[in-house]
Amino acid sequence: MNKARLLKFLRVFHSWLGVLVLPWIIIIGATGFYLNHERLILPLLKSESYDESLFDLWEPEQEVNREYARSVAMGIWPEEPIEKVERGEYHDRPSYTFSKDSGLIIVTQPTGHYFIKTGFTRRTFDPDGVELHSKVYWDSLFETLHVRGWTSRRFGTWLADITSISMILFGITGIVMWWMPRSKRYMRKLKRKPK
């Protein structure tokens, strides 16, 4: 392959590679910037907080026992079975925690308020099912996007790995395309130099 054809091939390859991985380059760049400058970005993303001491003003209509908590958990992602049940404390309140494939359902024992937690979010509900608050775990979300290139484990780290390799190839092809036209001039100058 002569230099002109090689240069044309590299230009086409370089261009399409850039187009194909552009979304992940933006994701990796943006999440990397966030991870390095969290204190600068986080105030822009924070949602309003919710005062959970307001739970204590709630008078439960019925006792919040294991069966009640289980019925709440069964109503969330109803097609998924409960994998595990634990009793413990959540936000300094005795609670039942139910694990399902999509996340956790945490029911507070004193009042029946409950939380639905996924990998990146937490939503707070009163016992009547009214959403009181939602929160995004930005650190987890951005770190996962940065490492995996996607929000789930479905693709493992393949998307991020493909993007990393593409960025290396993008850089190499860019250097070669920059150097090839200049190499002729450089070689001519070397030949002209008197010995």
pLDDT tens digits, 33-63: 888 888 888 777 776 777 787 787 777 777 8
Cα(35)–Cα(25) distance, integer angstroms: 15
In the structure, what pLDDT confidence band is assigned to residue 193 with cuts at 50, 70 and 90? low
Is 1's pLDDT higher than 70? no
Task: Assess whether 11 and 74 both reside in one domain.
Answer: no
Q: With pLDDT > 70 as the criterion, what percentage of the chain qualifies?
A: 97
Q: What is the pLDDT of residue 68?
A: 92
* Other Cβ atoms closer than 10 A to 58: 15
Q: What is the pTM of this model?
A: 0.69
| Mean per-residue pLDDT of the chain | 85
Are residue 182 and residue 125 in the same domain, yes or no? Answer: no
Question: Which residue bears the tokens 């933006």?
Answer: 26
- The mean pLDDT of 73-101, rounded to a whole number, is 94
Q: Are residues 15 and 63 in the same domain?
A: no
User: What's the angle, vertex CA 31, arms to CA 28 and CA 37, rounded to 5?
Assistant: 135
Per-residue model confidence as pLDDT tens digits over 112-168:
999 999 989 999 999 989 999 999 988 888 888 888 877 777 767 777 788 888 888
Instruction: Kindly state the average pLDDT of the residues 82-108.
Output: 94
How is residue 31 written in tokens? 């999440």
71 and 107 housed in the same domain: yes
Q: Which of 23-37, 46-60, 97-111 has the lowest mean pLDDT?
A: 46-60
151 and 131 in one domain? no
Residue 8 domain-assigned? yes
Q: Give the separation between CA 169 and CA 11, rounded to whole angstroms.
A: 12
% pLDDT > 90, the chain = 29
- Let me know if residue 71 belongs to a domain: yes
- Amino acid at the residue 11: R
Whether residue 104 is found in the same domain as residue 61: yes
Q: Please determine, for residue 95, whether its predicted confidence score (pLDDT) is greater than 60.
A: yes
Could you tell me if 71 and 129 lie in one domain?
Answer: yes
Q: Which domain holds residue 21?
A: 3-42+142-192
Q: Are residues 30 and 63 in the same domain?
A: no
47 falls within a domain: no
Q: How many domains does the chain have?
A: 2
68 and 112 part of one domain: yes
Residues 130 and 159 in one domain: no
Residue with the larger pLDDT of the pair 64 and 115: 115
Among 118, 137, 156, identify where a domain stops.
137
pLDDT at 123: 94
- pLDDT (0 to 100) of residue 70: 95
Residue that is last in its domain, among 110, 137, 164 = 137
Q: Is 126 found in the same domain as 67?
A: yes
Q: Does any domain span residue 149? A: yes
- pLDDT at residue number 188: 75
